[in-house]
A and B are shown apart, each in its own frame.
Chain A
């Protein structure tokens, strides 16, 4: 008990925990996702990494043993499209906002980090919104609940940027009175903005190339002025920054692929991509990944041809597909969303699980580090009481970097403490009210509103 309290305090304070203790999870079914299903299976966690996975692993002296009998151990869920833990997500006043990024506004206190952790999510791609054709930069976080903003960021994840096509960037639903219209207003304009931005970025890159060449020749030249809007786009041209492109309709999808190809760019992921099934051949040929909703449709015109078979059809045509949430709510049951690909489209259970683990991890360029239960990978995992594709499955524990950051049992115990604390505070409040007399509740004197 004392240990638990210290542990909680450490988590709450965001203090780094040094785990000298090894952890063994045994007795349950292990869904490795990439190496089959082990039943029973065991996992050994050491120094935040998965040290061993198998039907029988080493149990070091002093290791903490977690009995998972009857339970299902799976890799932590990876959400390739999220907007949680960010103070703001849309810099929509300009058509190209690549000088901004969600990494600058990470909010480590967003309770959705914890709520999703409770649903088994351990990694999320925090994207800029879809208000403009070229949006801001993204940040990939781990759900290290208790860490500060910098501590949440998944170190070493390749950088990325948001693009957006269709109804949102052309602002088809109109803006409130007093807000000026902004180019573009059509899908033609969206493509133009992206092409112009790439042209600018090429010219900017050339300026630096010329500058470096001149320097190499020993000439004394001034460096070009830095442009924070174009620098990320140069990285896109260089292939070192991933493009995550919000899109719906087949025509706009093709238009983006073609303009990207014009500049030698490969789009990393098409996000939402609800009509991806119509141009699956072309997406596969381009080599883009696809990250889609399980079954949302009809909320706008460009979502009217959305079908729940989209993920399966794209998979059948050779596209790497993930199921994302785009919603703090949906993210809490991505395991169920994955199950829908079994129902609609006939995916195997393993293919379905891949869509919320290793596939999004690969799409984000971190597939060698997370997304499956393999020795050497980060010990990010979730333990469900039933097969995670069951509607009835409830996540019991979530580990991030080997630390148990969610436990259903612990959460339930914590509720009593919180209720007691709340009651105490409310009592103090009413005492204070009584002292002040009736009708005097309000801000303390001297406090400005």
Chain B
């Protein structure tokens, strides 16, 4: 099928779904037939030629023999592969449109202690970035506030709650999967160098000064969590004034919400692990450039890692040239739970290639696929509804013409929240418009 034809089909499907929902036809259903189905269910082999029946947003039947109900829209996926939709475990989708224009950027609030802020508040459902990511098979994503390793550094503190959303919906409420999925904490950096934006140069300070500031920041974080515990206890005793900052930290100190701790260096990772153990709170490590140096520690404490982009430079001049590429495989071999994330927005569509790049350097292909589907769903407590293709799960899935981690593979159909979505986006429409520009007279 040609690209244009396929898109026309995609749009037609999307329109039909929209009509169905608008008319409240609950029985609207789709059946994907003749596909090789990679269910990713524990221990299951792919179904070589099978069908998936989707109704009311869920997978209702999956297997080799599924009877198409009358009226179900049929998608013939002969020669194609079906996978669970991909999940970007940390992104800024919807929070930023044009990086250089601050009016379009809602990633970083002022202040160092903002646990009460939620990403979902500022996710722009009309962002052009969403359909671009979606068209390459990203069906849902964690959207995290904060300066996630961006220019300028610094910014230690709690930047707010990460939200998980479907990458489709008329409103952010329709996109919602879990608006309060984790608390984002940028761990203080023990660095003697910092970039000064006013002078555009590096400022230096002594190690002792840096260490004192670091210790103070860590102590303050501990004090805030202690305060949140006292606040919760006071609430149980029935006496307290409302403090939405401390209230927001209740699920963290209660052990229900993970701290998503962004830390890159070995020293910082060790510090964060020690802190969370002392505090008795759940931790997911974000970034983890030097996680390969503390594999045993991460295994010992059962701390999973959402790795920053695989395609980055080594942190040190004398680090192996391929360290960022081999890190995912090394962690996996050691028994660390690994997920991938883009930490971005415009580049969220590159998620499968961040995972794929690690395959050449030792990460098993299946582990790479799982690290952008099942694993993130498990990490965020969504495994009952997301991550695999099984009966009863939310139908977030992709139909592709090959291995989704290979760049040359094309995404043919995408289902988000149980309906096929258009693969059209800003790029595709600009492409088609200018491709149709008349050629000059020859």
Contact = CB atoms under 8 A, between A and B. Distances in A.
Dominant secondary structure at the B interface: loop
Given A333-B311, A392-B359, A415-B320, A300 B434 contact: no
A411 B321 contact: yes
Given A299-B99, A343-B407, A393-B360, A281 B437 contact: yes
Nearest to B409: A343
Which 9 interchain pairs have the tightest Cβ spacing? A391-B356, A300-B100, A339-B407, A298-B346, A309-B431, A307-B427, A394-B360, A299-B99, A392-B360
A342 B408 contact: yes
Interface string A294-323: 011111110111011100010011000000
B318 interface: yes
B100 A299 contact: yes
B303 interface: no
Contacts of A317: 439
B353 A391 contact: yes
B271 interface: no
B322 interface: yes
Interface stretch (B49-57, B178-186, B195-203, B228-236): B195-203
A221 interface: no
B292 to A, nearest CB: 13
26 contacts: A176-B197, A176-B198, A177-B198, A280-B437, A295-B350, A296-B346, A298-B98, A298-B129, A299-B100, A299-B346, A301-B100, A303-B98, A305-B430, A307-B431, A309-B435, A316-B435, A329-B311, A329-B313, A330-B311, A336-B353, A343-B407, A344-B431, A346-B3, A390-B406, A391-B405, A392-B406
B9 interface: no
B321 A301 contact: no
Interface string A276-297: 0110110001000000000111
Contacts of A447: none
Contacts of A309: 427, 431, 435
Interface string A171-200: 001001100000000000000000000000
Contacts of A340: 407
A391 B407 contact: yes
Interface in B341-366: 345-347, 349-350, 352-353, 356-357, 359-361, 365
Interface of A: 111-112, 114-115, 118, 167, 173, 176-177, 277-278, 280-281, 285, 295-301, 303-305, 307-309, 313, 316-317, 328-330, 332-333, 336, 339-340, 342-346, 385-386, 389-394, 411, 415, 418, 422
Contacts of B321: 114-115, 118, 411
Contacts of A301: 98, 100-101
Contacts of A177: 198
B410 interface: yes
Interface string B397-409: 0000000011111
Contact of B100 (A173, A285, A313): A173
Contacts of B199: 176
A340 B406 CA distance: 10
A303 B426 CA distance: 12
Given A297-B427, A329-B312, A392-B356, 4 more contacts: A176-B199, A281-B439, A313-B435, A390-B407
A280 B361 CA distance: 39
A131 to B, nearest CB: 12
A285 B440 contact: yes
